[in-house]
């Protein structure tokens, strides 16, 4: 706003005294980066607060209502929002109806929605409803929930889907505060990425407030027959009744995680940290919606073995939600920092060895991803150029695991103490603001490298392909044991029964299964399953990697085919299902993949559908 005022002043000055450099100066005072994934022109007019008033209609599977924005502008004559597959009924400016314009539709970006304003316009209201093409919303029938008694609604905003359920200036750099009035059927609870109710209201009306400015992709809503159970005064879980106790146990370390995170990088800025476990069709493991992380039920393993996911989403409360990637080209600033932070939280709670195993799995994923991109090496840059592409295309293991490796290597170079001082100050100084890669590089150089007289190949890491030669080496003795066991098993000195008796933790089991030799005989593979019963694993991660190997090894015993099909019918987590469909495809079993997908597709969220449609080359 200050900058807007300065721009207005410069313009006024230009009218009074003719000044040739004014235009240039005005450009230099523009505060927002160019975001090729949003039509908004925030340097002209920008929304600062959203008041949402909506009604969730489960019969029609739509949301209807009004988004009213408090805006700031210079001398702009219009304000531009992003809208995709929305029906816009009417727009008003300070209470007076005005004629809006919807521009041409782009399959990825949607449409620009332009509303005429004057210099002193304050409130812009958009009356709208969603359509059956909304990509953010997933309306689930009772059968798709845990309790099977009530319907459920969930939203997913990242990366550019918020515009499919709210007309909004949908760029991550455009933070805004919001309040919401949400009306739902009265037997359901509504919760948002905001201050939340802990129990149902009598009449299905709920009011929300998010007082801190957040990015549009972090606006989220879940509606279902949910209950709340506290873990500590500031942490707790929402889940359906039949799951709440299991979920409460699974995430029992949440307060400890928040404490560990705060000791590392400063106070938790969002007061409350709750997690809602949503139905299994949710396309992600977790989503860091502020104050209310969304999590897949596939991490409820019964033994707290998959809770690094919570550490990850919690870490986003700093890297992502507090300091936010300015554009999706800078996505690694969100995810790479978060993986680094996640590992530090896991190390603080469960030790270095454990965190190192997690890191080592990520390192293998990275090697695989780099191999996948061997024909488009620029996709392995940290800083991306996603212009003209769907930002989803950039959301792969490069941002996560190469981003992590960069920070880990940097930490090794400067020492942990200096690294932590630097990161704490980075979050503190840039809290509630956004970051471009270029701004980060400058900040890194002055505040860490130059200050400590350290040379580091930052530009190569960020702007070049592949993994630089100075990358940190991740070694784990516990993984070495697993690798030795595989060799012994392969050469016959270790039998399957003894293998299964090994007291391995989850990471070791995953490492083992993922590294089963390609050429192992089907007899040995079958004997392994007979002894360890992997085909009936209750841990979703173990099941998933075992199913992948079963497909690779053309293995069909122990009912594994039915198990795979059942898994793909119920779970919609993109990472899991895409791993399995990819395995079918790679192994010339495309027909089998299509047969299952044809039945399962309607259970998946649009995010997963888009990925798998493309992967299998189908259109519906
Ligand atoms: N913010 C991401 C999920 C996401 C990324 C949604 C890109 C839309 C676009 C979230 O924090 C995440 O990374 N989830 C991971 C979990 C994790 C432990 C790496 C997932 O869903 O698997
Ligand atoms: Zn993440």
- pLDDT at position 11 is 43
With tokens 């707290």, the residue in question is 304
Q: Does ligand 1 have an atom closer than 6 angstroms to the CB of 391?
A: no
* Residue nearest ligand 1's atom 15 by CA: 285
* Residue nearest ligand 1's atom 6 by CA: 158
pLDDT above 90: percentage of residues in the chain = 95
Q: Does ligand 1 have an atom closer than 6 angstroms to the CB of 159?
A: yes
Closest atom of ligand 1 to CA, residue 334: 1
Q: Does ligand 1 have an atom closer than 6 angstroms to the CB of 403?
A: no
Q: Does ligand 1 have an atom closer than 6 angstroms to the CB of 574?
A: no
Q: Does ligand 1 have an atom closer than 6 angstroms to the CB of 605?
A: no
404 C-alpha to ligand 1 centroid (Å): 14
| Ligand with minimal distance to 397 CA | 1
Closest atom of ligand 1 to CA, residue 158: 8
Beta carbons of 547 and 578 less than 8 angstroms apart = no
Using one digit for the tens of pLDDT, what is the confidence trace for 135-148?
999 999 999 999 99
Beta carbons of 151 and 59 less than 8 angstroms apart = no
322-326 mean pLDDT: 98
Using one digit for the tens of pLDDT, what is the confidence trace for 471-490?
999 999 999 999 999 999 99
Nearest to 133 by CA among 114, 105, 112: 105
Beta carbons of 382 and 332 less than 8 angstroms apart = yes
- pLDDT at position 533 is 98
- Kindly indicate the confidence band of residue 29, based on its pLDDT and cuts at 50, 70 and 90: low
pLDDT at 25 over 70: no
Q: Does ligand 1 have an atom closer than 6 angstroms to the CB of 10?
A: no
Q: Does ligand 1 have an atom closer than 6 angstroms to the CB of 316?
A: yes
| Ligand with minimal distance to 605 CA | 1
Beta strand pairing call for 111-116 and 78-83: antiparallel
DSSP for 510-568 reads HHHHHT--TT--HHHHHHHHHHH-GGG-SSHHHHHHHHHHHHHTT---TTHHHHHHHHH
- Kindly indicate the confidence band of residue 22, based on its pLDDT and cuts at 50, 70 and 90: very low
Beta carbons of 102 and 89 less than 8 angstroms apart = no
- pLDDT at position 371 is 97
Residue 133 zone, left/alpha/beta (φ > 0; ψ -120 to 50; rest): alpha
Rounded CA-CA distance 361/541 in Å is 13
Q: Compute CA distances 411 → 415, 469, 548, whole Å.
A: 5, 16, 35
- Kindly indicate the confidence band of residue 31, based on its pLDDT and cuts at 50, 70 and 90: confident
pLDDT at 560 over 90: yes
286 C-alpha to ligand 1 centroid (Å): 6
Rounded CA-CA distance 238/259 in Å is 21
| Ligand with minimal distance to 578 CA | 1
Q: Which two tokens stand for residue 159?
A: 């990366």
Rounded CA-CA distance 50/81 in Å is 12
Active-site residue set:
313, 400
Using one digit for the tens of pLDDT, what is the confidence trace for 170-229?
999 999 999 999 999 999 999 999 999 999 999 999 999 999 999 999 999 999 999 999
φ, ψ for residue 468 (rounded to 5)?
Answer: -60, 155
Please name the residues in contact with 300: beta carbons below 8 A apart, sequence gap of 6 or more: 243, 246, 247, 250, 277
Q: Does ligand 1 have an atom closer than 6 angstroms to the CB of 58?
A: no
- Kindly indicate the confidence band of residue 255, based on its pLDDT and cuts at 50, 70 and 90: very high
Q: Does ligand 1 have an atom closer than 6 angstroms to the CB of 158?
A: yes
Rounded CA-CA distance 386/596 in Å is 32
382-386 mean pLDDT: 98
* Residue nearest ligand 1's atom 7 by CA: 395
pLDDT above 70: percentage of residues in the chain = 95
Burial degree of 538 (CB within 10 A; 0-12, 13-18, 19+):
exposed
| Ligand with minimal distance to 365 CA | 1
E strands, 103-246, are: 111-116, 123-130, 137-140, 152-155, 176-183, 189-192, 205-214, 221-224, 226-232, 235-240
* Residue nearest ligand 1's atom 16 by CA: 285
Please state the length of the chain: 620
Closest atom of ligand 1 to CA, residue 312: 18
More confident: 24 or 100:
100
- pLDDT at position 205 is 98
Beta carbons of 281 and 569 less than 8 angstroms apart = no
- pLDDT at position 74 is 87
CB-side exposure of 460: number of CA atoms within 13 Å?
11
Looking at the DSSP bridge assignments, the partners of residue 214 are: 176
275 C-alpha to ligand 2 centroid (Å): 14
287 C-alpha to ligand 2 centroid (Å): 7
């Amino acid at each position: 706003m200050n900058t807007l005022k300065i721009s207005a002043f410069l313009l006024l000055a230009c009218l009074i005294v003719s000044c040739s450099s004014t235009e240039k100066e005005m450009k230099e005072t523009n505060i927002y980066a160019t975001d090729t994934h949003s039509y908004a022109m925030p340097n002209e007019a920008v929304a600062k607060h959203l008041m949402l008033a909506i009604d969730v209609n489960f019969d029609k599977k739509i949301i209807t209502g009004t988004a009213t924005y408090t805006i700031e502008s210079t001398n702009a004559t219009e304000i531009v929002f992003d809208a995709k597959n929305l029906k816009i009924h009417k727009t008003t400016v300070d209470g007076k109806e005005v004629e809006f314009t919807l521009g041409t539709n782009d399959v990825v970006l949607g449409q620009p929605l332009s509303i005429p304003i004057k210099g002193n316009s304050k409130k812009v209201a958009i009356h709208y409803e969603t359509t059956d093409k909304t990509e953010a919303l997933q309306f689930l029938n009772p059968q798709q929930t845990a309790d099977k008694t009530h319907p459920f609604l969930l939203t997913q905003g990242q990366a550019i889907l918020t515009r499919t359920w709210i007309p909004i200036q949908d760029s991550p750099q455009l933070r805004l505060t919001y309040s919401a009035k949400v009306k739902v059927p009265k037997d359901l609870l509504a919760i948002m990425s905001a201050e939340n109710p802990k129990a149902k209201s009598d009449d299905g009306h709920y009011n929300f407030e998010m007082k801190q400015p957040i990015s549009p992709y972090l606006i989220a809503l879940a509606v279902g027959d949910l209950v709340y159970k506290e873990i500590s005064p500031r942490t707790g879980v929402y889940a359906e009744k039949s799951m709440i106790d299991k979920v409460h146990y699974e995430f029992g370390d949440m307060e400890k995680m928040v404490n560990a995170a705060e000791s590392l990088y400063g106070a938790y800025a969002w007061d409350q940290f709750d997690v809602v476990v949503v139905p299994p069709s949710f396309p992600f493991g977790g989503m860091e919606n502020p104050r209310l992380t969304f999590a897949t039920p596939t991490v409820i393993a019964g033994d707290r073995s998959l809770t690094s996911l919570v550490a990850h989403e919690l870490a986003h409360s700093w890297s992502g939600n507090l300091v936010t990637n300015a554009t999706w080209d800078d996505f690694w600033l969100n995810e790479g920092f978060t993986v680094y932070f996640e590992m530090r939280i896991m190390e603080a709670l469960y030790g270095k060895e454990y965190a190192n195993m997690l890191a080592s799995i990520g390192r293998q994923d990275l090697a695989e991803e780099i191999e996948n991109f061997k024909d488009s090496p620029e996709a392995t840059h940290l800083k991306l150029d996603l212009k003209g592409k769907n930002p989803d295309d950039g959301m792969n293991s490069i941002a996560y695991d190469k981003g992590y490796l960069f920070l880990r290597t940097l930490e090794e170079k400067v020492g942990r103490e200096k690294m932590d001082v630097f990161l704490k100050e980075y979050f503190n100084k840039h809290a509630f603001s956004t970051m471009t890669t270029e701004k980060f590089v400058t900040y890194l150089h002055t505040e860490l490298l130059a200050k400590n007289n350290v040379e580091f190949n930052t530009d190569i890491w960020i702007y070049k392909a592949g993994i630089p030669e100075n990358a940190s080496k991740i070694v784990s003795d516990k993984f070495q044991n697993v690798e030795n066991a595989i060799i012994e098993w392969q050469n016959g000195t270790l039998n399957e029964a003894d293998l299964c008796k090994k007291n391995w933790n989850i990471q070791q089991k995953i490492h083992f299964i993922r590294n089963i030799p390609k050429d192992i005989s089907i007899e040995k593979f079958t004997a392994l399953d007979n002894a360890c019963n992997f085909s009936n694993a209750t841990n979703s991660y173990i099941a998933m990697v075992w199913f992948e190997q079963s497909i690779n090894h053309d293995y069909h015993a122990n009912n594994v085919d039915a198990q795979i099909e059942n898994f793909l019918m119920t779970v919609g987590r993109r990472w899991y299902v895409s791993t399995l469909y990819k395995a079918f495809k790679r192994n010339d079993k495309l027909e089998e993949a299509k047969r299952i997908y044809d039945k399962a597709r309607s259970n998946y969220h649009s995010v997963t559908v888009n990925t798998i449609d493309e992967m299998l080359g189908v259109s519906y």
